Amino acid sequence: MNMFRFLGDMTHLFSVLVLLLKIHTIKSCAGISLKTQELYAIVFATRYLDLFTDYISLYNTVMKLVYLGSSLSIVWYMRRHKLVRRSYDKDQDTFRHHFLILPCLILALLINEKFTFMEVMWAFSLYLEAVAILPQLVLLQRTRNIDNLTGQYVFLLGAYRSFYILNWIYRYFTEVHYVHWITWISGLVQTLLYGDFFYYYFHSWKNNEKLQLPA
């Protein structure tokens, strides 16, 4: 475990906790895309299939349970909780995320590290995670005025994968035969998708003005 990866995991954990905190305290999910949350739940469910078969470390297992639990509870809140679901603007959150799932599945069947169920599911979860933020970014463009917590949530989510890229570079140079093209390319695409959001986020932060994304 190197510093970059630990920082990445903590940033990712913090992004999820910021979101859960927002939903739980103000009982609102305004500005949050349910589609992205559902995609993340699928990402974790398909990536952590080895939760009970491969024990790597206590840290690894605990973090998997936390990610699974938090993403499922966010989806539950946004779908079932009587107060929270009222603040979900479904007519704005219209990204057809089903169109993301099938191509990722087909790609995983074609490009994987080994043609086994677990490895195909693992590759699928990486491809899906790379594009899972799209519904949320589209929703931000639509709703324009982004409240602080949502902006912080998306920023932290983008930052976590950036730390992971540093982790992969570090591991490439320090570990023999550490090569995972699938992970690296997916992670790079994922981070690039946040590019313009980061640009506007830093601008709003620098000029100390409300974060506005161009229409």
Q: Nearest Cα to 4, choosing from 210, 157, 170, 124? A: 170
Question: 111-130: which residues touch another protein (CB under 8 A)?
Answer: 113-114, 119, 122
d(CA 158, CA 199) in angstroms, rounded, equals 12
Write down the least CB distance from residue 29 to another protein, Å: 24
4 binds another protein (CB under 8 A): no
If one counts every other C-beta atom within 10 angstroms of the C-beta of residue 122, the result is 21
The CA-atom distances, in angstroms, between 195 and each of 137, 167, 192 are 11, 19, 5
Query: In the range 46-105, which residues lie near another protein by CB under 8 A?
Result: 50, 54, 56, 60, 63-64, 67
Which of the ranges 132-140, 144-152, 179-187, 191-199 carries the binding residues for another protein, by CB under 8 A?
179-187
Taking the C-alpha atoms of residue 126 and residue 170, their distance in angstroms, rounded to an integer, is: 20
Q: Is residue 9 part of the contact set for another protein (CB under 8 A)?
A: yes
Contact track, another protein, 13-42, x by CB under 8 A: ------------------------------
Among 28, 87, 141, 183, contact with another protein (rule: CB under 8 A)? 183
142 contacts another protein (rule: CB under 8 A): no
> Taking the complex as a whole, how short is the minimal distance between the CB of residue 144 and another protein, in angstroms?
33
Sign of the dihedral through C-alpha 179, 101, 163, 70: negative
Residue 107 and residue 156: Cα distance in Å, rounded?
27
- Start-end of H helices in 89-180: 98-110, 117-131, 134-143, 148-174
164 near another protein (CB under 8 A): yes
Please identify which residue in 111, 179, 192, 205 interacts with another protein, judged by CB under 8 A. 179
**Are the beta carbons of 107 and 122 closer than 8 angstroms?**
no
Q: Is 10 in the site for another protein (CB under 8 A)?
A: no
For another protein, give the closer residue by CB, 78 or 161: 161
Using alpha carbons, select from 32, 144, 41, 149 the residue that is nearest to residue 89.
Answer: 32
Interface with another protein by CB under 8 A: which residues? 5, 9, 12, 50, 54, 56, 60, 63-64, 67, 113-114, 119, 122, 164, 167, 177, 179-181, 183
